[in-house]
Structure formats: structure tokens, C-alpha cells
Amino acid sequence: MSSSALLIDALKRQLKQRGITYAMLARQIDMSEASVKRLFAERSFSLARLEQVLGVLGMDFVELAHAAADAPQLITQLTYAQEEELIGDIRLLVVAVAALNEVPLERIVATYRITEAEAVQCLLRLDRIGFLVLKPNNRVKLLVARTFGWIPDGPIQNWFRREAYGDYLDAHFDGQGELLRLVSVMLSPASSRALLERLRQVADEFARQHQDDARLPYEERHAVTFLLAARPWMPRAFKELLR
């Protein structure tokens, strides 16, 4: 993670620790709430604006730098063996995904055929492998970075490929909250690199939005799964016509 990203993440933690919402911050620095959200989403702080926010927090830049340096080291990926452990126990995988989405324990138990004792055991296993910290009253603190992802072609992705691809794509994608776009273009290598970088930025943007919305009540959030993919590809039927 870049130094600027570490600083902005530290800034967000300081706001959260003090109970300062984006709306409250916006009023104190004379901006709209939407503009403040965009500042954090795009990390587009000018030095003057950063000093304003630090003034609201009662901090200086040195203190912010120390807060960023003291942040726990978050994991961006599990090991191959850890992913295999998750995939070997569907209840453990369900609890892990629920934890990633900050679903409270009682909701996991109410939604799935998983008892509270089983869910707690799963959380303890996730604590052991460094995925999260299980705190008193079964509260959870994630230890995964915003950029966390499953191993490419690893156990989780292979499981998804086997179990979910057909089911996920077996839809018309014309309902509320659904969208499917299939775009086939011819690009230069430079444009291809730019496209891939933009897709990574989109994924990061929604990861940040997920973190922002995590403070909302569970009832105001719903699960959304989106798939970003790009690679040189030609349908098999096309290939059969090649000379």
C-alpha cells in the first residue's frame, strides 16, 4: 500500500475513533458530505484541506504519520494452505465471507443452518490463521487489507469456478441492482494496460465504499457480487473458423 493510502486510512481511523462522521466533518470544513466522501474515495487531498481535517481532529501531520506507522499490518492474501482449510469446511467459508462483509454473529446464525457455537468455533479458527481478531462478546476485528483478494487460480477461485460460474451467470441481469455488459474491442498494448489499471481502481473504489457502508445498520445493506475480468479471448466457435 502506498504512503498516501496509509495516511488516508489512518485519517479515517482517527475520525471513526472520535465518532466524527463524514457529515459532521463536512460541516466543520465547509464542504458538502458528498464532496468529503469523494475526497476520501479518490484520496485527492490538497495540503490545505488535509490541514483542515487535522485541525478538526486536533492533530498535526507528525501525529498522523505516527498513527499510520502504528497501524497493524493487514494481510492482502491468505496462504494456499489457509485457503484449502476454508474450502474444506463450507461453514468456515460461509463465516469467513460473512466476516468480510461485517455481518454480525446473530445474523449468521439466523440466516444459515449454523449454530452459535459452530459460528464461534469458525471465528476462533479464523482468529488462529490471522484473518481476524475475535474480541469480547463475539465482536470481530478484521485483519485483512482493503485490497484483500483470493489467490489467482487458488483453492477459492477454483471452487468458485466449479460451483458458482454457471449459477452466477444463469440470469437475465435485467432486474433491480443487476447489470451485465459484454464488450469486445481491439486495443493497443498501452490501452490494454490502461484498461486493466482502471478495472483495479474500480475494484478498490467499491472496496472503500464497502468499508464506508459498514457503519450502516445491517438492514440497510444487501449483498452484491460483481465480477471484473479482462483477457485476450475468442469464442471457441470463432476459433473453429480460423484458417
C-alpha cell at 72: 497493524
Place of cell 496462504: 79
pLDDT for residue 67 is more than 80:
no
Q: What is the pLDDT of residue 154?
A: 94
3-70 CATH:
1.10.260.40
- The pLDDT tens digits for 176-227 are 889 888 888 888 999 999 999 998 888 888 877 887 787 788 788 888 888 8
3-state secondary structure of 140: strand
What's the average model confidence in pLDDT over 87-98? 92
* Alpha-carbon distances of 173 from 8, 161, 166, 169, 226, rounded to whole Å: 36, 19, 14, 8, 12
What's the average model confidence in pLDDT over 34-60? 86
Pairing of strands 139-142, 132-135: antiparallel
- Largest alpha-carbon pair distance within the chain? 70
Rounded CA separation 27/33 (Å): 8
Q: What is the pLDDT of residue 59?
A: 86
Q: Where are the domains of the chain?
A: 3-70, 75-147, 171-220
Q: In the chain, what percentage of residues exceed pLDDT 90?
A: 23
Rounded CA separation 95/172 (Å): 29
Hey, which residues does 142 pair with through a beta bridge?
Answer: 132
Angle at 214 between CA 49 and CA 130, to 5 degrees: 100
Please tell me whether the overall predicted TM-score, pTM, comes out greater than 0.85 for this model.
no
